[in-house]
Amino acid sequence: MENHYTISPVADLGTIDYSDSLTLQRKLVERVRTGEIGDVLLFLDHPPVFTVGRGKRQENYVGVDVKETERGGDVTYHGPGQLVAYPIIDLERNKINDVRKFVHLIEGVIITSIEKFGYFGQVGEEPGIWVGGKKVASIGLAIRDKISFHGLSVNISEEVLDGFNRINPCGLKPETIGFVKIDREDLKKELRSSFERSIHPFTEVNADYFDRMK
């Protein structure tokens, strides 16, 4: 149930440095926790970057500089040709009392969204979505004070594959990574709609909305 004192903002941040986005997420987790704002949904792209989570295995990213994060999972890549979404959601307030349930919700959001464009996704052995034997979307979450951050990424063009070829993403062979050819704006709209059906409506704001927060 949405906090009735505040709006739940959704924004497209465009291309933003990974470290800057992480700083923003951590700030927003605290704002959501205190009720200053409602749940937040961020869409964005990252310049090329490799990140590792709590399940990191160094043999999967030999010779590659990485940024360490508190999300789950091993090494992954973000860069051009990919749409990223970070849902910063108060799980308790939304009566999502199981992190696994939230992962399944996100899986459903992705599958429902890409199906609109003729792609039929399936859940793999690890969190993520597969199409035609290729992993096209990844999920990596962190939870702090029962509030989620980090999130999901969907590969939407062949351009993103070069980065994945430098690592064993989540311990997989690089050639298992694929993409769905979907316009970024069209996919963003579908993902937002699916999140709103699964959680609650969001109010669109400009990226500078968050700059005004102390």
What residues are annotated to the active site?
Answer: 170
**In the Cβ-directed half-sphere of 170, how many Cα atoms lie within 13 Å?**
18
Encoded tokens for 141: 């979450």
Enumerate residues 6+ apart whose C-beta is below 8 A from 74: 52, 53, 55, 56, 57, 60, 169, 170, 171
Burial (0-12, 13-18, 19+ Cβ within 10 Å), 68: exposed
Least Cα distance to 32 among 95, 109, 93 occurs for 93
Least Cα distance to 46 among 87, 20, 80, 74 occurs for 80
Q: How far are the Cα atoms of 34, 159, 200 from residue 169, in angstroms, in the given order?
A: 36, 16, 32
DSSP state of 62: T
Could you tell me if 185 and 170 are in contact, meaning their C-beta atoms sit under 8 angstroms apart?
no
Which amino acid, 95? K
Enumerate residues 6+ apart whose C-beta is below 8 A from 39: 2, 3, 8, 32, 87, 88, 89, 90, 93, 94, 199, 200, 202
